Structure formats: structure tokens, C-alpha cells
Structure 1
Amino acid sequence: MSVRIPMNILFVTARLPYPPIQGDRLRAYHQIRLLAQRHRITLVSPIDKGERRHLVHLERFCERIIPVEVSRARQLASLCRIPFSRLPAQTLYWFDARLADIVARETSKNDYDLAHVQLVRMAPVLSALNVRTRVLDLVDALSLNFSRRAERERPAVRALIRWEARRLGRYERSLVGAYDRVIVCSPLDQRAIGAAESIHVVPNGVDTSEFGYRQDLREWSSIVFSGRMAYFPNADGAVWFANEVFPLIKRSLPWARFRIVGADPPPRVRQLAEIPGVEITGYVPSVTEHLQRATLAVSPLLAGSGMQNKLLEAMACGTPVVATPRSTGGLAAQDGHHLMIAENASSFAEQVLRLLRDPGLRLWMGRNARRLVEERYSWELSVATLEKVYQGAMSAEYQKPAGTGRSRWTRRSVRRIPMASGQAGTRLSTP
């Protein structure tokens, strides 16, 4: 069967995919942007009151946008259900039954070819989807993320994080059979969920025009680490590098500088500015400029999961990278050719110093990294892979008897999900 072009796609996200400054938002934004060139997109997304001003940036891609205002008080109240539910806290907090009511009405009134749901947080909307083909993008294995976080957390909360990791793992595995297709961004996350043969990999990408290759702006002995600092693995990595690795570098190169670029740094990251040579920028309008100016970039993550956009962005700019093994997340990059991988503080400092002292090596590695990104990690290639997943899912679904694959939503339906077993003329729809 050939897939109808254009498809009518219902796209459900856990957060408004603008501004594209976080992993899931960035991924959804570029998927919608490129899918809209060939298909009709209706976006359903929770929003905060202050986010309505961002809708204009998505209207050029979406035929319709259905924003659903969420209540922070309601989200907090939902956490009271944790002791009485087998759903992970991530899902209980973010999923709003009112959004599912809206999706149920929308898919009953309109003929959609496919529904694309993003994140484990929105997974319970499955029961509301009166659509034959349902695809879930987990992005990464959140259970792996929480398991690794538990290793780095303070003892007071470590047991709680591990408990949530176990619940997430059971829930993620149950969703593999519930949706027609489940996708993640890397083979590492595919294996972590434990059903690799049933999960499809759709890698992240990078906008190679925004993150352009430049070598004429480079500063001397400037090290950059970019990422949203409210994200635990980023903050944890920044603190580790500043306290454990940077002093080793400064012994040999006292003039070296370490710049932490990213929004919402918590107090423990802001305090790093007291260390000589460390700069905290907070939010910046353009990360690209900092990556193009830096001598090299680091990704010192000791927790986290998925494919790190910060790596792809630095590599696209031709900025050589030193990273921990947990930063590379299934990236098809060769150690010593596209980037440097270091497992501990001493080896990390050694690799950074090696690059800082060798301009020829930096240039060679930066060119290799840029070439890899162009050949394998553009958003265009990523979305082409996504469309193939859609095609496979629809081909399989259209072989089913008529009437299968559709469900009737009630507010109790979420309990039935198994556990461990752009275009012009956009309309904003009011739910």
C-alpha cells in the first residue's frame, strides 16, 4: 500500500513546540516544520497562559492549532494520585483528561490518517484516539534517564528517583504493544526499554543552516558547555566539570576559560561563577555564536539518556568536542575521529588539553564532525525516516479488519492502558 499524500496528521505534544529550546520541543518543531511541506498538520498542545504569543510561530506550518490551557494547581493536585495509580508520576503530572476529551471529540468529527503522540507523558491519550494508526514518539527512554539520575542524586531523594525509574520502565514496555509504532531517538534508548525489535529509531537532527561551519571566529583556550541548565544532567555535568576537570586544565593552561551557556541555571550552577575562569551566561538568544567562538565544546554528562542535541549543534559548527560516554547516546561518531570520549576527570582534562594545544587536530576533527552531521543527522533525513515509520504503520493497519484500531474515550479509559503485561490559513481552535 502507498501512503496517501498529503496525510491528515493529528500531532499531540506534551509542551508547545516553540520556542525550540528543549529536546522534545526542538524535535517536534522540526518534525512539524518539515512534515507540513507534504502533509496537513493539526497540533494539539497544552499551553501556559503566557505561551499564546508563541502560536504565531507555528501557524505557518499547521492547518489548525488546538491549544489547551493547563492549570498548574491541577497538575500539582494530580500528584496526590501517585499512591493509588500504577502510572508513573511523570504521566500523572502532565496528562490532563480534559485534553483527552478534546482529542476524542476532534478525532470523532474529523478523518485523520494518523495520530502522532509525543512523550510518555501524553501516552494515555491513546484511548481517546479515534484514528486507525497511532504512533508514539517516546524520544528517549525516560526510565534510563531516571536510573542514571539516581546514581548522581543526593541520598535523600535517590530512592524516590529509582522508584519512579522502575514505574517508567514498566510503563514504557507496556506501550510498545499498545501503539501501532513506538519510536525513540537512539539505539541506546531502544535497548534500554527492552523491546528493541518492536521499537523504531528516528534520530535527532540539527539545522545545519542555523548551526553553520565557521573557523574564523575562534577564541583562544575557550571551552563551552551548552544546554538548558534547569535539566538535571546538564547542571550535574557543569558542576562536575567545573569542580573536577577544569582545575586540572588550569594547572597546565592558567588562562583557559570555561563558559556555561544555557537558560535557567540553578543556584549550584550560578555559584560556579566564583571559580576563576568560569563564566555563566544564563539565557542567550543564539547558542550558535558561542559554539562558533569557542576553541572546543564539552559534554560532561554523567546522567541523562537520548541523543544530545548539544553534541550535534557543536559538531555542525565544526567545534571539536570532548564528551563522556553517557553523552554520546547512540551517536554514530568515532572516538578520535569525530570527537574525543573521556571516561573520568583526568582523561577528560587530558583530551581537552590535547585539543587546546593542537590547532591542526582541532581543524581536522571539526571538519570530520561537520561532515558526519551533514551525511547522517540533518532534520530532513530524520523526518524522511519518520515518514517511513508512518508508511509501515499505515500499511500494517490497513490490513486489519475494518473497525479495528479505534477506541471510545471515557475519563476512565486511561486505566485500561496495560501496565507490565507550513500552510496558510491556519485556524486556532477553541476547545
Structure 2
Amino acid sequence: MGEVLFLAHRAPFPPDRGDRIRAYHVVRHLAARHRVHLVAFVDEAGEADHPDLTAMAASHTLVTRTKSRPRAAVEALASGRSVSVAAFADAAIARAVARVLAERPIDAVYVYSSAMAQYLPHGPRPRTVMDFCDVDSVKFGEYARAAGPAGRWLYAREERLLGAFDRGVAAGADASLFVSAAEAQLFRSIGGTGNIQVVENGIDTAFFDPVVAVEEVPAAEPLIVFTGQMDYAPNVAAVSWFANDVLPLIRARQPTASFAIVGRAPVAEVRALGERPGVTVTGEVADVRGWLKAASVAVAPLRIARGIQNKVLEAMAMARPVVATPGAAEGIDHAGTLCVADSEQAFAQAVSGLLSDPVRAVTLGRAARARVQARYGWSARLAGLDALLGLEDAGEWVRTG
């Protein structure tokens, strides 16, 4: 039995969005074998009440994050740090980390999201694994190219400073993790060094299973579905592009086709799309599986995408045919079980082709589920974590209460 300090920019409960899902399964894997001490931010105080928290963590400190992005930007500009790092700088978290390291015989530290690496001790420290997931700094470079003059300067600054910070963290970590070989290679291409490893995302195929009974949703056929956090800029851009430029081409061929944007916190730009013919904006739903089960086709039209897209794996696990942009498909070893298209015309043609050929759509969806079952089970994806943390010989410890 080892003792692990787990630092996270967002507590992994409930596992209902991309960053939480990976963190949740990592914590669950580690907690089945070791004592996990969680120090993390929460977006809302109520998130601290999730039952899995006390069931899985030997101890926990959760701090509600109240710092606004404008305040973080001011602090970043004043201190010469990246906004991403300044946004997660908090004295309460620093005290909690220091307390755990002082009071517990910590064998290893797992850092989830590079902004949390600012809390690592500067002197001798336990074995440290840094889970970058993907190369966030490059994403800001992509934002810069699409922004106006002021935004371009800020995003370019963030790309430069966050990239330098991440490279420094990786150089000092015992291992740095990325969700795909493509992300790992991208990090190397911007000068990242150290022990760079790939630990892919997985999918809970027992939960995301089309035969499991879920509440039906009121949706007409044929239905095209996108799922995601709808205040996240790449998701907003994706559904805007699809609704404005792709859906009209599809509806020219299939006039009854509808598009559902499923996800919490839709911003005004997304809500406005719900006024368009054939477009539904659901807001937060209790269970996305009902919408995926009802979907004729699931789409991932992301123009900016990093790492492995959980939304794609979930749709594949639900045996839905998926059409994705190259960026959204990159990193997923799909073996041809999803359709990849880039331009408006190609994307519309791929979706329309599946809508007009239900037999092919069903066949592709079944192949997609079989692929994720064979390739993306969480237990297989996380099997090497204990060795990376230096805990392979620590034995197993199963919490009983």
C-alpha cells in the first residue's frame, strides 16, 4: 500500500465532463490499491458532497475556485506568469499541499493539469508524475491565429509562457503523460523533454452501452447529436460552424433532419442557434446516453481539438455512427470505424450518406462499439500507472468503508 498525493485543477466528481472523466478513473484506479489524498479545486461548493469522494479518497481538501478570468489575467500580466497558471494560484491549496506532505508519508505525487504543478515543493520531493493530458499551449496558438489584434497578443503570450512553464515541469518530473502518441510527439516538437509517456483515455463500456435502459428523449428522426460543455470555446465554435455552414447542406437533402446540441452552460451564441430551424439546444441534461441512443448520427465538428475526445469515444461506445473532423479523430485508434471529414461539403456529405443508408449506419455504429470495447477499456489503459509512480511493489489495498 502506497500513499499518493493527487493534485487536480478540478475535483473529479462527478465524472460528467472531459477533464473530470480521466481524473475520476485515475483516482479510482489508484484508490483501489493505495491511499489517495486529494487536493483539488471545485467550481461550486456543492461538488464536495459527491459520494465517491469519501469512498475513494483517504483524505481530501477541496477549495472553491472564485478567481475570475479578468483577475487572473491582471495577476498574470503583473507577475509575468501565464494566465493559466495565475488562474489556479491559491494560498489555501498551497497550505493544503504543504500539510499533506508534512503529515503523511507520501510516496508519489500525481499532478493532473500542469497549472497544479506550481504547488510541487522546490526541494526534494516524492516521485512525481505530471499528467498534461494534451498540449494546451499549442491550443492558445491556434486561438491567436483566429483572434483580433488584442486577443492575438494575449493568446500568443499565453502560448509562449505556458509552453515554457510546461517544458520546465516536464524536465523535472519523473514521468510526463499525454493522452495520445500525437500529443506526445507534439510536445517533443516544441522542445519538451524528459520521460514522456502515453496513457490514453478509456471509456466505461458497461455504462455507455446501447442495451442499458435509459430515459427516452423527445426527438424526431433523423437526429444529429453533439455533446459537450457548451461554454468551452472549441465546442462553441464547432456547433456554430456545423449549424451555420453544414446543417443547411444536410437539410437540403434531408429536410426533416434535426440537430441537438447537448451540454451544460450554453453561452448566448449557442442559445441563439436554437432559434434556427431544426436546431435544439438542451442545456444540461441528467444523462447524455438518452440523446446518444436517439441519435441517427453523432458529430464532432471541432476545428480546434487536442488529445482524445471523450465525446467521440462515448458515441462510439453507444454504437452510434460518428462523423468527426480530422482534429477530433486524431489520437483515436478507430481503425476506420468512424467517418472523418473536414470541409463543409465533405462533412455534410458524410452525415447525409449515413442518414440515407440506415443499414450502413447501424453497421458502422456496431463496429465502433466493438472497437472501443477491444481497445479502450480503462483497466487496460491505466495498467502501467503504478509502475510510473514507483508503486508497483506497494501491494494492494482495497477500501472497505
Match of residue 307 from structure 1: 308
The Cα of 1:28 is off from its aligned counterpart by 0.9
CA distance in 1, matches of 2:353, 2:332: 23
Aligned to 1:199: 196
Tell me if structure 1 keeps the 8 A contact 2:354–2:360.
yes
Letter in 1 for 2:166: E
Which of 172, 176, 186 matches 1:182? 176
Alignment match, 2:399: 423
Task: Look up the SS of the partner of 1:348 in the other structure.
Answer: helix
Partner Cα distance (1:393, 1:230) in 2: 40
Match for 1:172: what amino acid?
D
The letter for the 2-side match of 1:26 is I
Q: Which residue does 2:281 correspond to in 1?
A: 280
Q: Give the one of 131, 143, 153 matched to 2:137.
A: 143
User: For the residues of structure 2 that align with 1:226 and 1:129, how far apart are their CA atoms?
Assistant: 43
Distance 1:289 1:36 in 2: 30
Q: Deviations over 1:155-205 (max 9, x none)?
A: 552332122112222221121111111111112221222237731111111
In the alignment, the residues of structure 1 paired with residue 17 and residue 354 of structure 2 have an alpha-carbon distance, to the nearest angstrom, of 29
Name the aligned partner's letter for residue 231 of structure 2.
A
Give the equivalent residue in structure 2 for 1:121: 115
Q: Any residues of structure 2 matched to 1:176-325 within 5 Å, and which?
A: 176-194=170-188, 195=192, 198-214=195-211, 220-325=221-326
How many residue pairs align between the two structures? 391
Residue 399 of structure 1 corresponds to which residue in structure 2? none
Contact in 2 for aligned 1:212/1:316 (Cα 8 Å): yes
Q: Distance in 1 between matches of 2:91 and 2:178?
A: 25
User: Deviations along 1:209-254, whole A, 9 cap, x unmatched?
Assistant: 1110349989632100000111110010000000000000011110
Q: Return the offset for 1:329.
A: 3.0
- Judging changes above 3 Å, is the alpha-carbon distance between structure 1 residues 379 and 72 closer, same or farther for their aligned structure 2 residues? same
Gaps in structure 2 of 5+ consecutive residues? none
Q: Are the counterparts in 2 of residues 103 and 129 from structure 1 also a CA contact under 8 Å?
A: no
Per the normalisation by structure 1, the TM-score is 0.84
Per-residue deviation, 1:346: 0.3
- Which residue, 82, 91, 101 being the options, matches 2:85? 91
Q: Distance in 2 between matches of 1:265 and 1:154?
A: 23
Structure-2 change in CA distance of 1:196 and 1:72 (3 Å): closer
Trace 1:145-164 onto structure 2 (pairs within 5 A): 145-154=139-148, 156-164=150-158
Aligned position for 1:59: 54
SS in 1 for 2:56: coil
Higher RCO (CA < 8 A, seq sep 6+): 1
Distance 1:123 1:239 in 2: 34
1: CA distance, partners of 2:180 / 2:23: 16
Rate the CA distance shift 1:265–1:331 in 2: closer, same or farther, 3 A: same
CA contact (8 A) 1:318 1:369 kept: yes
Answering whether residue 9 of structure 2 is matched by residue 8 of structure 1, we say: no
What are the residue-to-residue correspondences of 1:12-51 with 2, within 5 Å? 12-48=7-43, 50-51=45-46
Is contact 1:219–1:294 with CA below 8 Å preserved after alignment? no
Distance in structure 1 (CA, Å) of the matches to 2:392 and 2:153: 39
Q: In the aligned structure 2, how far is the partner of 1:94 from the partner of 1:202?
A: 24
Please, what TM-score do these two structures have when normalized by structure 2? Answer: 0.90
Identity %: 35
Query: For the structure 1 residues 13 and 360, does the alpha-carbon distance in structure 2 shift closer, same or farther, using more than 3 Å as the test?
Result: same
Superposed CA deviations along residues 260-302 of structure 1, whole A, max 9, x for unmatched, are 0011111111111111111100100101111011001000000
Contact 2:242/2:301, CA 8 A, preserved across alignment: yes
Task: Name which of 127, 132, 139 aligns with 1:133.
Answer: 127
State the AA in 2 paired with 1:389: L
